[in-house]
Structure 1
Amino acid sequence: MQIRDLPYPDPGTPDARSGPRFLYWLGRNQLRGQLKSLSWGLLHQLGVAGLPLGAGLAVQAVVDRSGGRLALAGVVIALFGAAITVGDTMLHRAAVTNWITAASRIQQLLSRKTAELGSALTRRVAAGEVVAVSTGDVEKIGWFVEALSRFLAAAIAVVVVCVGLVLYLPSIGAVVAIGVPVLALAVLPLLPRATQRADIQRDKAGRATELAADTVAGLRVLRGIGGEELFLTRYRAASQEVREAAVRSARMWALISAIQVFLPGVLLITVVWYGALLAGDGRISVGELVTVYSAVTLLLFPLRHFEEIAMAYSFSRPSATRAARVLRLERTSYEDERGGLDDTRPTGDLYDPATGMLAPAGQLTAVVCGDPDAAGRLAERLGGHAADEEKLPSVLLGPVALDDLPLDAARASVLVQDKDPVLLSGTLTELLDVPASGAVRPKDALDAAQCDDVLAALVQASVDGSGDPLRSRITERGRSLSGGQRQRLALARSLVADPEVLVLDEPTSAVDSHTEARIAEGVRRLRGGRTTVVFASSPLLLDQADTVVFVHEGKVAATGSHRELLRDDPRYQDVVTRRTDAEAEAGTGTEIEITSDGGALMPTPLAAREPLEEIEESA
């Protein structure tokens, strides 16, 4: 795999049972790249190891005043120098390729898992954790994959040099052969503590990242309530904890680096001192002493890879563990026990056995929940995004369980729009270019979602001067737009997709009542004959629904039209009018009045409300 061939057509199925197993799986899937990197690394390291031989021959040739041997030494040095140049260049190329391809594979796996789990992912893994895994952890894992082949080449080179010195000069070679393993293993007792400190730093950094992400996401609200300074103080404290943890971790790694410098220096001094004694006694020649000295000096270079691989593994192992924890999450706990169906799109009523909620096919059904969080969970479950820990039966679309469908078929059949939808950067045309039936034109969807002012704002902010709103660019997450404008564009995108079942979670919570009324009419008109489920508590939306389902404490408590439920169910009245228990007991608060101008339902003071029978007569 070359960088130009990325992304992978299929990143594969990872072994996510543990962090080390995941690292092994990555290395096994990049075996060809690792072998290529190892080959170039051996060429480079053996070229470095061969230089002392040429240097020793050259010095001895000068001592013996032999021009022929001096020329031969020059040729040997030139050959080893060429090997170093070519090997180092190609090693860097191959190693970086391994790094980037490994990081790309991990990011593809994480992206696929994120798409599979949807919003259930952030309920089971903190948002900051997901961000940290997909950024910093990917880099650390890629570092280990890249460093592994270089370490293996360096280890083989060290063994070759030690064996060569023992054969070339046994008296000094034995000292080197004993000292080098001691150098390589000297830092092992410090690695667990260094790894622990690195883990602490990483955990604190993840919490700081999560706090920063939450603060940025809620900045508009924080400014409205004057809470910026509070969250800024919290983030400062969190960042200081990260700094302190980073300093503690850096101190440990500095100690390891110091040991890796000090002990090789001691070995070098010992070899030079002992070799000088042997040369003084005439037991070895000057050229042999220079050869051994150069070999030990250059041996320090591959030894640095031992420290690097220790650091890379210490950092990448917890990173791989966190990545594996995300990758082994499953959409449902019982999906593997059921046989998958072929990729067909079922039709029929949408039914949730857990709550008893039924959305008849081809109708607009409104769902009212007293608990907004419960409403969000139910909306996700209707799209087949149930979390493992819920242990609930699958939602049925006609006779088919959504959890039995292939993921792409389930997503194509039921589309869920969250209450806080995300807009990606790009032009409006690109935003609306989604997999769709083709039955709904973008213009019709924009009209139904009441996006006229959004289009005008995009034209005004356009930099190309074309005057075409569809060519205007939307900034990342639509931050240049208001909350209501983002909400309406997301609704238009969902309407363009035209799925068999469209589930909308509070699609008009950020718009005014007049716009909300027009949106309700537009959605009903455009989705005629298609199944639509709207989670809402707004009377303007509820009055447009064919059926209203009231869910109380996790179960369907009542079903009927908005007017029927308003008349017959006090609990429904409390939710729709947002009336507290104290207000209900005192007979105060707000209630819903049914007007005679088209049947719209508007809030009115409860004390001024007419008897319900008179309201029905006036309506």
Structure 2
Amino acid sequence: MHLRDLPYPDPGDPDIRSGTRFMLWLGRRQLGGQLKALLWGLVNQLSIAALPLGVGLAVQAVADGSGSGLARAAGLILLLGAAVALGETLLHRATTTNWTTAATRIQQLLARKTAELGAVLTRRVAAGEVMAVSSADVEKVGWFVEVLSRFTAAATALVAVCTGLVLYQPELGTLVAVGVPVIALASLPLLPAASRRADRQRERAGYATELASDTVAGLRVLRGIGGERLFLARYRAASQEVRSAAVRSARVWALIGMVQVILPGLLMLAVVGQGAALALDGRIAVGELVTVYSAVLLTQYPLRGFAELALAYAYARPSARRTARVLALSRTDTGAGTATAADPWDGPEDPEGPEPATPPRGDLYDPLTGVLAPGGRLTAVVCGDPDTAGELADRLGGHPVDGAGAGTGDRPSVLLGGVPLDALPLECARAAVLVQDTEPVLLSGTLRELLDVPSSGRIPVAAALSAAQCGDVLDTLGRAADGGDAMAARITERGRSLSGGQRQRLALARSLVADPPVLVLDEPTSAVDAHTEARIAEGLGRLRRDRTTVVFTSSPLLLTAADRVVLVDGDAVVATGTHRELLRDEPRYRSVVARDPGDGGPDGGDGTPCGPGWTTTCVTTEERR
């Protein structure tokens, strides 16, 4: 794989049973690149290992007064130097390619998983953790992949040096052959402690990153309630914990580094002492002593590969484990590694992808709760518990909550036109049903880019903005844009420069432009005033005519505009009808919509309890005042 061939047409199906297995799978997928790096690593390392032979021959030629011998030794050193330079250059090129291709493969796997999970991802993994996995963890795993071939070449070179010295000068060579493995393996007892401390450092750094991300995301709210100092103190404490963990981790690695310096030094002293005694006795020549000495001196270079591999593995293993944990998530999770019912990469291998399936049409029905949204109608769903509403909205869009995967166990899939959403390819299911949750995200960019989404083309952008009552938003953006063009105005990250109501209306306009066959809206007008809400209800009904629309709300204005209203208590539908019918006949509906404590409350006039079995929080007379 060359860099020009990236990205991969298909990043593959990773082994996510553990972090180590994931790294092994990654290495197998890069076998060609690893062998190429190993080849050039051997050229580099063996050339370095052979340099002492040339130096020894040159010294011996000088001692013997042989000009031709000195010329041959100089030629050998020159040839080996050229081989070292060539091997180092191409080794760096090969290992960098391995790092880049490994990081790209992981990034593609994470991007594919993010697209598969959608909004489910951040409910299962913290946003800061996702950011850390996709950046720092990818780099650490890529580093291990890069180091692996270089370490293999270094280990091979050490074996060659020890074998060569034993054959060249048995007495000194045997001493080196015994000492080098001891030096290489001396750090192994320290690695578990180093790995644990590296894990701790990474855990605390991930928490600090998550805390910083959440603080920045809620900065406006924090300023409004005066909570900046509190969160600053929390982040300062988290930062100090990261520093302390880093210092403790560095101490272990400093100890490993000390071992890697002291032991080779002791071996060098032993070799020099033994060699000097042999030379004084006339048992070895001066050139042989210089050769052995130089070889031992140069073994420190490949020995660094052992320390580098240990360091890379200690950091890469927890990173690979976290990456594998994210990749093991699925839309229909009942446990780690559970396969999804509809994987967008399943099916025949076609470089251009299979032909997109036509989304089904018809009624949207949830057999678990009994919620039915007739095709082409506007259905409002009222839930006493906002969390239940959010979970049900996600379920209707094919995004089940944790442990409640659609199509798993006793949790049947939502049906669209009689077809289970989980039986559809992911792209088809996403094209059929669009869910706008209660806190929609606005991506940074211009307003034109924000509204440039895949759509049917039936709804013009201007009509969507008008229906969502975005006139004041356009005026505000137009004043801030060059030339007064509101569509060219830039939206900051997550729309933080806008008010909550403005963000909500722009998100609604984006959903209307998309014009999906089924649109699910969770409290789309919770941050706007009643006058604006009434006009939005009118515009929504006009633009979504003959389209299936489900709105989770307790607003009387939206409920009045709905063709059908469904009341959900806990996990089941308890009443259906129009807003007026339910307001007249259903006390539990009145307790949510009209906030009437006399209906469905503990002292309700009709005797219907608002307690066990009814998830709505009772509204007392004192609270209403």
Unaligned runs of 5+ in 1: 589-604, 610-619
Deviation at 1:211, TM superposition (A): 2.1
The reply to whether residue 308 of structure 1 matches residue 308 of structure 2 is yes
- What SS does the aligned partner of 2:299 have? helix
Whole-angstrom distance in 1 between the partners of 2:15 and 2:126: 22
Equivalent of 1:363, from 359, 369, 377? 377
Equivalent of 2:590, from 557, 560, 573? 573
Q: Structure 1 stretch 99-108 or stretch 296-305: which is displaced more?
A: 99-108
- Which residue in the other structure is 2:84 paired with? 84
The reply to whether residue 506 of structure 1 matches residue 523 of structure 2 is yes
Deviation at 1:571, TM superposition (A): 1.8
CA 1:229–1:547 in 2, change beyond 3 Å: closer, same or farther?
same
Residues 226-237 of structure 1 mapped to structure 2, 5 A cutoff: 226-237=226-237
CA 1:82–1:460 in 2, change beyond 3 Å: closer, same or farther?
farther
- Which residue in the other structure is 1:8 paired with? 8
- Which residue in the other structure is 2:118 paired with? 118
Whole-angstrom distance in 2 between the partners of 1:456 and 1:294: 77
CA 1:14–1:529 in 2, change beyond 3 Å: closer, same or farther?
same
Deviations 1:57-89 (A, max 9, x none): 111122122222222222111111111112112
- What SS does the aligned partner of 1:332 have? coil
Whole-angstrom distance in 1 between the partners of 2:176 and 2:489: 69
TM-score (norm 2): 0.90
- Which residue in the other structure is 2:160 paired with? 160
Residues 88-167 of structure 1 mapped to structure 2, 5 A cutoff: 88-167=88-167
Q: Structure 1 stretch 427-436 or stretch 101-110: which is displaced more?
A: 427-436
Asked if the contact 2:597/2:604 (under 8 Å) is kept, the reply is no
1:312 alignment partner AA:
A
1:18 alignment partner AA:
S
2:176 alignment partner AA:
V
Asked if the contact 2:364/2:375 (under 8 Å) is kept, the reply is yes
Equivalent of 2:368, from 334, 350, 354? 354
Equivalent of 1:458, from 473, 477, 488? 477
- What SS does the aligned partner of 1:140 have? helix
The reply to whether residue 564 of structure 1 matches residue 596 of structure 2 is no
- Which residue in the other structure is 1:381 paired with? 395
Deviation at 1:337, TM superposition (A): 9.4
The reply to whether residue 411 of structure 1 matches residue 430 of structure 2 is yes
1:41 alignment partner AA:
G
Deviation at 1:386, TM superposition (A): 1.0
- How many corresponding residue pairs? 590
- Which residue in the other structure is 1:468 paired with? 485
Whole-angstrom distance in 2 between the partners of 1:18 and 1:423: 35
Whole-angstrom distance in 2 between the partners of 1:35 and 1:330: 34
Whole-angstrom distance in 2 between the partners of 1:226 and 1:413: 44
1:527 alignment partner AA:
R
- Which residue in the other structure is 1:187 paired with? 187
- Which residue in the other structure is 2:421 paired with? 402
Whole-angstrom distance in 1 between the partners of 2:340 and 2:84: 56
1:192 alignment partner AA:
P
Whole-angstrom distance in 1 between the partners of 2:85 and 2:597: 79
CA 1:3–1:478 in 2, change beyond 3 Å: closer, same or farther?
farther
Whole-angstrom distance in 2 between the partners of 1:86 and 1:581: 87
- Which residue in the other structure is 1:437 paired with? 456
Asked if the contact 1:330/1:388 (under 8 Å) is kept, the reply is no
Deviation at 1:217, TM superposition (A): 1.9
- Which residue in the other structure is 1:592 paired with? none
Deviation at 1:336, TM superposition (A): 5.9
Whole-angstrom distance in 2 between the partners of 1:581 and 1:81: 94
Whole-angstrom distance in 2 between the partners of 1:498 and 1:382: 17
Deviation at 1:606, TM superposition (A): 9.1
Deviation at 1:47, TM superposition (A): 1.7
1:512 alignment partner AA:
D
CA 1:511–1:474 in 2, change beyond 3 Å: closer, same or farther?
same
The reply to whether residue 422 of structure 1 matches residue 457 of structure 2 is no
Residues 243-322 of structure 1 mapped to structure 2, 5 A cutoff: 243-322=243-322
Whole-angstrom distance in 1 between the partners of 2:222 and 2:40: 55
Asked if the contact 2:598/2:604 (under 8 Å) is kept, the reply is no
- Which residue in the other structure is 1:35 paired with? 35
1:255 alignment partner AA:
L
Whole-angstrom distance in 2 between the partners of 1:484 and 1:239: 35
- Which residue in the other structure is 2:203 paired with? 203
Deviation at 1:127, TM superposition (A): 2.8
Asked if the contact 1:16/1:22 (under 8 Å) is kept, the reply is yes
- What SS does the aligned partner of 1:420 have? coil
Asked if the contact 1:587/1:606 (under 8 Å) is kept, the reply is no
Residues 35-54 of structure 1 mapped to structure 2, 5 A cutoff: 35-54=35-54
1:110 alignment partner AA:
L
Whole-angstrom distance in 2 between the partners of 1:461 and 1:2: 45
Whole-angstrom distance in 2 between the partners of 1:372 and 1:23: 42
Whole-angstrom distance in 2 between the partners of 1:17 and 1:386: 23
- What SS does the aligned partner of 1:154 have? helix
- Which residue in the other structure is 1:169 paired with? 169
1:502 alignment partner AA:
L
- What SS does the aligned partner of 2:158 have? helix
Deviations 1:25-58 (A, max 9, x none): 1111111111111111111111211211111111
- Which residue in the other structure is 2:412 paired with? 393
- Which residue in the other structure is 1:616 paired with? none
- What SS does the aligned partner of 1:355 have? coil
Whole-angstrom distance in 2 between the partners of 1:263 and 1:35: 31
- Which residue in the other structure is 2:466 paired with? 447
- Which residue in the other structure is 1:536 paired with? 553
- Which residue in the other structure is 1:221 paired with? 221
Asked if the contact 1:172/1:271 (under 8 Å) is kept, the reply is yes
Deviations 1:457-486 (A, max 9, x none): 222222xx3433223322222222222222
Equivalent of 1:516, from 518, 529, 533? 533
Asked if the contact 2:55/2:290 (under 8 Å) is kept, the reply is yes
Deviation at 1:387, TM superposition (A): 3.5
2:479 alignment partner AA:
Q
Equivalent of 2:562, from 545, 552, 571? 545
- What SS does the aligned partner of 1:118 have? helix
Whole-angstrom distance in 1 between the partners of 2:589 and 2:3: 59
- Which residue in the other structure is 1:602 paired with? none
Deviation at 1:536, TM superposition (A): 1.3
TM-score (norm 1): 0.91
- What SS does the aligned partner of 1:436 have? coil
Whole-angstrom distance in 1 between the partners of 2:534 and 2:444: 29
Whole-angstrom distance in 1 between the partners of 2:231 and 2:138: 29
- Which residue in the other structure is 2:495 paired with? 478
Asked if the contact 2:120/2:401 (under 8 Å) is kept, the reply is yes
Asked if the contact 1:364/1:545 (under 8 Å) is kept, the reply is yes
Q: Structure 1 stretch 202-211 or stretch 296-305: which is displaced more?
A: 202-211
User: Percent of aligned pairs with the same residue?
Assistant: 69
1:7 alignment partner AA:
P
Whole-angstrom distance in 2 between the partners of 1:283 and 1:507: 92
2:582 alignment partner AA:
L
Asked if the contact 1:205/1:242 (under 8 Å) is kept, the reply is yes
Whole-angstrom distance in 1 between the partners of 2:315 and 2:325: 16
Asked if the contact 2:342/2:426 (under 8 Å) is kept, the reply is no
- Which residue in the other structure is 1:593 paired with? none
Whole-angstrom distance in 1 between the partners of 2:114 and 2:184: 41
Asked if the contact 1:432/1:442 (under 8 Å) is kept, the reply is yes
- Which residue in the other structure is 2:238 paired with? 238
Asked if the contact 1:44/1:88 (under 8 Å) is kept, the reply is yes
Asked if the contact 2:103/2:142 (under 8 Å) is kept, the reply is yes
Deviation at 1:277, TM superposition (A): 1.0
Residues 14-29 of structure 1 mapped to structure 2, 5 A cutoff: 14-29=14-29
Whole-angstrom distance in 1 between the partners of 2:342 and 2:577: 37
Q: Structure 1 stretch 541-550 or stretch 175-184: which is displaced more?
A: 541-550
2:454 alignment partner AA:
P
- What SS does the aligned partner of 1:368 have? strand
- What SS does the aligned partner of 1:390 have? coil
